[in-house]
Amino acid sequence: MRVSHRVGAMGAALGFALAAPSAQAADPIKIGVIAETSAISGVGIPNAAKMAAEEINKAGGVNGRMIEIVDYDDHNSAVDAVRAFQRAAQQDKVSAVIASYISEVVLALEPWAGRLKMPLITPGAASNEITKRVHDDYDHMKYVFHGYLASTQIADIVCEAAKSLMVNDLHMKTSVVMSEDAAWTIPLDEEYLKCLPTAGLKVLDHIRLSPDTTDFTPIFNKIEGDKPDVIVTGISHVGVQPTVQWQQQQVPMPMYGVSSQATNSTFWKDTNGAADGVIFNMVAAPDVAVTPKTIPFAKAYQEKYGNLPGYAAYQSYDDVFMWADAIRKAGGTDPNKMVEAMEKTDYVGTIGRVVFLPKTDTFAHGMRIGDGYITGLMVQWQNGNPITVWPGKVATGKMVFPTFTKLAQ
Amino acid sequence: MLALQILIDGFAISSLYALGATGFTLIFGVSGVLNLSHGAIMVVAAVIAWWIAGTFGVGPYLGALAGVGASLACAFFTYRVIVRPIQNSRAIPREEKEIFVLTGTLLWGIMLQEAVAYLFTNNPKTVRPLVAGVVMIFGVRTPWNEILTAALSWAVIGLLYLLVNRTRTGKSLLAAAMNPRGLTLLGFELSSIYVLVWAIYGVLAGIAGVLLGAFLGVSSDNAGTLTASAFSIVVLGGLGSVSGSLMAAYVVGYLETMTAYLVSPSIRTVPVLLLLVAVVYVRPQGLLGRR
């Protein structure tokens, strides 16, 4: 009796051991998604990632395994994000992470990606420091990829568009830079101050405001005193309030530049239409076929979630496909092999053709920008709709400004 | 021109501060409660006004009314479910009840803040102003909405003054603040006076929230700052003193505005905090405090 028990137990153990590899083969590949889900820009990251995972799974998954998105809310806190990252890597055993649109959060996660050898990509943070760290300490930081533009790259796109829209079309000559005090705007402002004059816009003043600012009246009054032709913005943590106060106070110069909150489809409603005339930067917009994937994704997102994707959602959607491709090419989830495969990425997503810059580049593991790669767009809120106004070849409308705006003659 | 600009902007923001702090200090004066969910209740009022007006297309007036209604409901809930059970509890020693009320209202405020963020996201919302456009006041372009904000704030404070000083009900509120035991001996029901003061508080916080939502815009993230702002004004003015709070609101409003215009908008709250520290050292009872 005892012997038969032993034999039974050994048989069961043997059976379990033999069965284990096949069970493991069918295990899903987990991708962690860390974002602030109470913010519109944040919630788009897990939403879009889940859409991508569903599509990949419908098509058979990756090497026969399904993709599973494990999402964590970081409450816009670097501490919560680090805890989530540690849990994702050590407890939930994810194979890669897509994280945040806040530079401070991503900069806090970056060393942990190195320590835990966990491939990480951010779909929305912009600080130059993210890629600089990869460049400066490649062996440790090679697991980090920048799935969005670096601040300097964004400033260059804004300046290039300003030359066409503000200088050539509207004959503007002067500007004031208005940016929030944050990690991502330090390189943004540095580049603005260099590239705006080159584009033909003299910078009369450079105002950095606290992200906690609620009353922008003194700021707008100071700007008006400088008499610029245009206000060039670098705002993300703030957006609704300066826009509404700009409209209520009828500040006579256009707001143009980076305004992350304006990329959300709810911005019109949040501002009660005060957004009319605001021009902001995006890499993809719902009305422009940047690639054949852009509009179908935006439509599918709207159908599923009831509003258009915010700026980080496009990249998050693409990032899941890129991780899936990297896992496919690497033949598994070994992080070093995934990094090697990811470095060879040449993927046409919703935002354009994504190719990562080599480790020797200052923006190592950042995206290549320019014709044929990621070009960026300038979009304007017009009568409740985001209309692409630059570049001319893909623009779906011309610039229109509210009646209180006084344009340079 | 700059002086006039500071005068106008400072007046509008100070009036709004005054309205927001009046309810806060009234509750403390009459019932001894420091309601740390104050900022969250203002946020609820603004967000509900924005939501009702925007989603159901009922216009700004009905939206504002809904916001004030939501604030009233929150105020009653705060009193009935958070404050009164703690005050009536036999398990909590009398001398510890104040700290329990502080903790209870603080946690309730965080719950409200998180609920707003969950339901409406933490993106700021702006209530559609009752009037649009701008007017030139001696060369200073001023939004009509800014003027309306100051006028409505003072109209509501004026009505409160009349209620408190010219009506029997209002006088009973004053009496409750001065000598609750004496009032009970005269046959007044203290609990109904508390209900009344929480109702007045709900309306005041609601109007302040809606006006703030229309003037500057409000996010769930602002709840803590709004409570801290009201708290600072009330401490500066003297705990429980309505007239002290009104005066302090103008000190805070103008100090902030002058800092923003003359020094830097990034440090607009710093001088106020320094002043507050100085007041706590030099005159802990505040400008017009009774205790």
**A218 reaches B (C-beta below 8 A):** yes
Q: A250 and B268 in contact by Cβ < 8 A?
A: no
Q: A274 and B126 in contact by Cβ < 8 A?
A: yes
Q: Which pair of tokens denotes residue A218? A: 């003194």
Instruction: Answer whether residue B166 shows pLDDT above 90.
Output: no
Instruction: Answer whether residue B10 shows pLDDT above 60.
Output: yes
Instruction: Answer whether residue B150 shows pLDDT above 70.
Output: yes
B32/B11: higher pLDDT: B11
B235/A57: higher pLDDT: A57
Q: A38 and B122 in contact by Cβ < 8 A?
A: yes
**A250 reaches B (C-beta below 8 A):** yes
Q: A248 and B128 in contact by Cβ < 8 A?
A: no
Pairing outcome for strands A353-355 and A174-180: unpaired
8 Å CB contact between B45 and B67: yes
- Nearest CB to B143; choose among A38, A249, A271: A249
Kindly indicate the confidence band of residue B167, based on its pLDDT and cuts at 50, 70 and 90. Answer: confident
- Sign (positive or negative) of CA dihedral B105, B107, B110, B112: negative
B179/B214: higher pLDDT: B214
User: Which residues of chain A fall short of a pLDDT of 70?
Assistant: 1-26, 408-409
For residue A325, what pLDDT is reported? 96
Q: How far is B136 from chain A (nearest CA, A)?
A: 11
For residue A41, what pLDDT is reported? 80
How many CB atoms lie under 10 A from the CB of residue A172?
Answer: 23
The DSSP code for B137 is E
Which amino acid belongs to residue A73? Answer: D
Write the DSSP string, A155-209: HHHHHHHHIIIIIIIT---EEEEEEESSTTHHHHHHHHHHHHHHHT-EEEEEEEE
Contacts of residue B145, defined as CB under 8 A and 6 or more positions apart, other chains included, come to A248, B129, B130, B131, B132, B214, B215
Q: Which of A214-218, B54-58, B97-101 has the highest mean pLDDT?
A: B97-101
Write the DSSP string, A368-401: PBSTTSB--EEEEEETTEEEEEESTTT--S----
For residue A40, what pLDDT is reported? 78
Q: Please name the residue of chain A whose CA is at the shortest distance from the CA of residue B224.
A: A212
For residue A23, what pLDDT is reported? 41
For residue A200, what pLDDT is reported? 96
Q: How far is B102 from chain A (nearest CA, A)?
A: 25
Q: B123 and A39 in contact by Cβ < 8 A?
A: yes
Tell whether ipTM is more than 0.95: no
For residue B216, what pLDDT is reported? 86
8 Å CB contact between B209 and B51: no
The DSSP code for A212 is T
Contacts of residue A370, defined as CB under 8 A and 6 or more positions apart, other chains included, come to none
Q: B257 and A218 in contact by Cβ < 8 A?
A: yes
With beta carbons under 8 A apart, name residues in chain A contacting B128: 272
